[in-house]
Amino acid sequence: MTLLQLLSALMPLLSVFVLLVLFRLPARQAMPLSLLCSALLALLVWQMPLLQVSAAIAEGLVIALTIVWIVFGAILLLKVLQQTGAIDVIKYGFSQVSDDKRVQLIIIAWLFGSFLEGAAGFGTPAAIAAPLLVALGFSPLAAVVLALIADSCAVSFGAVGTPVLVGLVQGLDGASSVSVQQIALTAISIDIFVASLLPVIMALMYCRFFSHVPSWRAGFAIVPFALLSGLAFTLPAYLVALLLGPEFPSVLGALIGLALMCTLARRGILVPAAFETAPVTVLSDKLQFGLYRAWLPYVLVALLLVLSRVPQLPFKAMLQSIGLHWHGIFGSSVSVTVLPLYLPGSLFVLVALAALVLQRGNGAQLRAALQQSGLMLWPSLVALCAAVPMVRIFLHSGVNDAGLAAMPLALAQLAASQLSGVWLLMAPLVGALGSFIAGSATFSNLMFASFQHALADNAGLNPQLVLALQMLGANAGNMICVVNVVAAASVVGLNGREGDIIRYTLLPALYYCLAASAVAWLCFI
């Protein structure tokens, strides 16, 4: 690979970092520029056929619209609950558990978000948890940054085990020397030491960077509660993975953690003196429903997501039976399929309409919610419709006249040729690269599992351990991937601040990768 080819393969990474993080351009300006640069270099340097580039862009636009639909559904649900007054009731309910915002952050972003990740995945946790945190008085930037950091460990078994059952299984393509079950167990074993500290990092970051009175001391004061919250998820998740397999560790681990930590918080156990409390919510006398009815839409979302994702139930096949297919786009080998009823956005819209009925809303409130949702969504439309096509060009670049592998594999192969001696350090970084570019841990595992397995064999490393690090790196990449950042920012009206978000989430993502490598080296070698 020549230097020019290397730079063209790195263009999606370099352009995102330079334009978003260094120059602080809003994503709606940065991503079209990145798309243009990536497309030109793919054509001129990587020698991709124009047909292949055009097909990748068209596929990306279709996928971007499905992401927009998910974001719209999440925003609409929130706006409906604001219109009916349910959010005020929810805020009041949290004040009865604990009015300490550190506790609320851990319960909502870490535990409730992990449950949503286990049930649905694909960006759903940040789209739900971030606006809920904003409604509770957190700043939009804090809500998005901390929700993205929280949405990491649970990704291993997100969407009812999809990163394992689809990502690893299909990515390994029948490699017989490793057990996918053992890879998953190794990953969650490492997470007990690594990911259990993420709630601690979240609490420290909130108290130091986002609270009204910046303080490291207040963050350290909540460490016992935060650390127990981390273990309250990872330990049950390990047991579920051991006993039941990879489908339900995130779902059941989060539910067990929620039950335990809410009970402790309500009784004030391990909760220090209040540092920053949520604003007191005064409920209107006109509200004629209580906490159960206020929470019912979120309960319905979680229930529908679980029921529609469990393969043993008939609902998944029923929802997936209706699909829109575009095979051989422009005569190329690229195809795309959209399952409109199966998308989380469709469930969000359905539950939003049901919430309006359950909470005795009216047409005027629905119109206001729709208008507000559209205004919040519009700025992110351009960014997503440029970011996703750029990613698809990167991934489909294996069809080229230069005789090169696809750009991500070429980069990984180059790294392997130079760094195989320290591959336990590099393996999670490759997984993070996959998620950063593709916006999906499942796709990262699909793309790099066979590569990681082959490299482990050649370097004399344990393939099971290397693939577990691939999984954990893919989790870390979820914190910083452009698609997730743009989508989460749009839900809370933070368009244009994507670079600021990545600056905050980059160090926790690096911690996750490096700490996983360190634990693997110390405990499994």
Cβ-contact 348, 75 below 8 angstroms = no
Kindly report each contact of residues 249-252 with a partner whose C-beta sits within 8 Å and lies 24 or more positions away, as own/partner.
Answer: 249/118, 249/156, 249/157, 249/161, 249/184, 249/188, 250/114, 250/115, 250/117, 250/118, 250/154, 250/156, 250/157, 250/158, 251/115, 251/118, 251/119, 251/157, 251/160, 251/306, 252/118
The whole-number average pLDDT for the span 352-360 is 91
Say if 314 falls within a structural domain. Answer: no
H or E element in which residue 312 lies? none
Say if 378 falls within a structural domain. Answer: yes
Give residue 483's pLDDT: 83
Lowest mean pLDDT among 194-208, 221-235, 369-383, 476-490: 369-383
Cβ-contact 488, 126 below 8 angstroms = yes
Give tens-digit pLDDT for 46-76: 999 999 999 999 999 998 898 888 878 878 8
Say if 499 falls within a structural domain. Answer: yes
Most confident of 9-13, 49-53, 404-408: 49-53
The answer to whether residue 16 scores a pLDDT higher than 80 is no
The position carrying tokens 């004040």 is: 95
Cβ-contact 416, 380 below 8 angstroms = no
pLDDT level of residue 245 (50, 70, 90 thresholds): confident
Give residue 282's pLDDT: 57
* Alpha carbon distance 178, 78 (integer Å): 44
Give residue 424's pLDDT: 93
Measured CA angle at 159 (ends 157, 164), to 5 deg: 40
Give residue 278's pLDDT: 63
pLDDT level of residue 155 (50, 70, 90 thresholds): very high
The whole-number average pLDDT for the span 380-402 is 86
Give residue 456's pLDDT: 86
Give residue 139's pLDDT: 94
* Alpha carbon distance 103, 220 (integer Å): 13
Give residue 159's pLDDT: 76
The answer to whether residue 184 scores a pLDDT higher than 60 is yes
Give residue 344's pLDDT: 83
The answer to whether residue 37 scores a pLDDT higher than 80 is yes
The answer to whether residue 485 scores a pLDDT higher than 80 is yes
Give residue 175's pLDDT: 60
Most confident of 173-177, 197-201, 320-324, 423-427: 197-201
User: Token pair of 421, please?
Assistant: 């001696």
Give residue 288's pLDDT: 66
Nearest to 63 by CA among 353, 430, 406, 440: 440
Measured CA angle at 209 (ends 206, 213), to 5 deg: 90
Catalogue the E-assigned strands of 241-368: 324-326, 336-338
Supply φ then ψ for residue 246, to 5 degrees. -85, 0
Task: Fill in the amino acid letter for 438.
Answer: A
The total number of structural domains that make up the chain: 1
Please state at what angle helix 363-395 crosses helix 423-438, rounded to 10 degrees: 130
The domain in which residue 179 lies consists of 26-35+45-280+287-308+341-524
Residue 98 Cα to chain centre, angstroms? 27
Mean pLDDT of the residues in the chain: 88
Say if 6 falls within a structural domain. Answer: no
* Residue 493 DSSP SS3: coil
Number of neighbours of residue 235 by Cβ within 10 angstroms: 17
- How far CA 404 is from CA of 12, 333, 418, in Å, comes to 17, 17, 18
The whole-number average pLDDT for the span 480-498 is 86
The position carrying tokens 């209580």 is: 290
Task: Give residues with Cβ within 8 angstroms of 409, minimum separation 6.
Answer: 398, 447, 448, 451
Task: Give residues with Cβ within 8 angstroms of 182, minimum separation 6.
Answer: 464
H or E element in which residue 326 lies? strand 324-326
Say if 2 falls within a structural domain. Answer: no
Measured CA angle at 501 (ends 507, 148), to 5 deg: 75
The answer to whether residue 133 scores a pLDDT higher than 80 is yes
H or E element in which residue 337 lies? strand 336-338
Say if 334 falls within a structural domain. Answer: no
Say if 324 falls within a structural domain. Answer: no
* Residue 288 DSSP SS3: coil
Say if 264 falls within a structural domain. Answer: yes
Task: Fill in the amino acid letter for 18.
Answer: V
Supply φ then ψ for residue 279, to 5 degrees. -60, 145
Cβ-contact 450, 171 below 8 angstroms = yes
Identify any residues that bridge with 100 across adjacent strands, giving them in sequence order.
277
Residue 361, CA atoms < 13 Å, CB-side half-sphere? 26
Task: Fill in the amino acid letter for 392.
Answer: R
